[in-house]
Amino acid sequence: MQHTPSTITPASTCGQLSLPRLPLCKTSLPLDQIDYEIPKTLLQEICQLLESAPQLCFDARTEAPLLQDISKRGAGELLLQRSFGAIAGIAIAGSYGVRGIVTHFWPPPGGLGSELSSIPLLQNVLHALRERGIRRLHVLVNDQNKSTLQFWRGLGFAECPGERLMQRHLIGIQPPQHPHPEIDIRRLRSADLDTLAELLPSVPELAFQPWELEVLRDGCEDSGRAYFVAEHAGQIVGALIGGTFGIRGTISHTWVSATCRGRGIGASLVEAALHQLRENNAKSVHLMLTPGNDAAYQFWSALGFQEIPGETFLELDI
């Protein structure tokens, strides 16, 4: 698949993105072809380069098989930038719940001249994710990496004031035990989407975006996603939208109908999702709380999530 970044016209959420249009000097290997195997030597080379940058925290032992898996399932993009045949840039990005995420970007931001060489690579990431219907992109940056933060901010990525980032490690996750015989916790089906389209946009705490419905539609049949609903007497009374990318899991939205809250339905949805994320090899799960959502903070705390100090979640509308 050939990328044509000249069609990208991104705009940022909180800042102003002004990516100059630069000619591409790269070879891209989009991993959206089923059965695409990354050749072993290429995989080794990519892993060595990513491991050479400690701030990327890339552990080839756990991540290389998942990279291959992402590739085969078509769940993500591996973009390589080449200069005189050698790899000069690597970006790994994909769908994360209903959003996009860049998990690895090499050479790491902050290196000499890296901003200039990184822009064409990033343009291709944006383009590839837009082709997947994704309109919002995240990066997670350790606050110690000032130059990395500066790099992403310089490209228009921004944290939204007041948003809180929470995390839970997925150790010891058990298969879900549904405590509500009358509530069916099941996977989202495409037939449910019209109902969700009516319900979710009006929930102020969710900041659900209309374009996310199309991402949901595409992902309904994908077991790599953690899309669940709670059904009671034929009515949808709750929904959870999550997913994994490599070893990282996320929950993008969780909602229970106002008349059914406080009965453990939210907890049951989360239980089902965490098990699914763990099955899909996620090691941890992240989520963002909209500003001032203290009830949700209590909810997630009760379910073992903790606020992460020292990490910044940056986002960009693309």
Ligand X SMILES: CC(C)(COP(=O)(O)OP(=O)(O)OC[C@H]1O[C@@H](n2cnc3c(N)ncnc32)[C@H](O)[C@@H]1OP(=O)(O)O)[C@@H](O)C(=O)NCCC(=O)NCCS
Binding residues (CB under 6 A) for ligand X: these are 203, 205-206, 254-256, 261-267, 289, 293, 295-296, 298-299, 302
CB-nearer residue toward ligand X: 142 or 298: 298
Sign of CA dihedral 222, 225, 226, 227: negative
CB-nearer residue toward ligand X: 108 or 249: 249
Which helix (H) or strand (E) is 146 found in, with range? Answer: helix 146-154
CB-nearer residue toward ligand X: 203 or 308: 203
Residue of minimal CB distance from ligand X? 266
CB-nearer residue toward ligand X: 27 or 298: 298
Please tell me the distance from the alpha carbon of residue 152 to that of residue 280, in angstroms, as a whole number. Answer: 29
Cβ(110)–Cβ(58) under 8 Å?
no
CB 179 → ligand X: shortest distance, Å?
10
CB 123 → ligand X: shortest distance, Å?
31
Cβ(247)–Cβ(65) under 8 Å?
no
Show the tokens assigned to 135: 């309109």
Closest to 32 in 3D by CA, of 222, 316, 176: 222
CB 246 → ligand X: shortest distance, Å?
22
CB 234 → ligand X: shortest distance, Å?
19
CB 106 → ligand X: shortest distance, Å?
32
Q: Strand pairing partners for 194?
A: none
CB-nearer residue toward ligand X: 8 or 296: 296
Where do we find the tokens 């379910």? 303
Q: How far is CA 192 from CA 187, 269, 311, in A?
A: 10, 16, 35
CB-nearer residue toward ligand X: 35 or 182: 182
Long-range (24+ apart) CB contacts under 8 A made by 83-89 are 83/25, 87/45, 87/46, 87/49, 88/26, 88/117, 89/26, 89/117, 89/118, 89/121
CB-nearer residue toward ligand X: 46 or 166: 166
Please tell me the distance from the alpha carbon of residue 243 to that of residue 240, in angstroms, as a whole number. Answer: 10
Which helix (H) or strand (E) is 105 found in, with range? Answer: strand 99-106
Q: How far is CA 213 from CA 59, 76, 179, 220, 267, in A?
A: 34, 19, 29, 10, 23
CB 265 → ligand X: shortest distance, Å?
4
CB 102 → ligand X: shortest distance, Å?
22
CB-nearer residue toward ligand X: 38 or 289: 289
CB 257 → ligand X: shortest distance, Å?
8
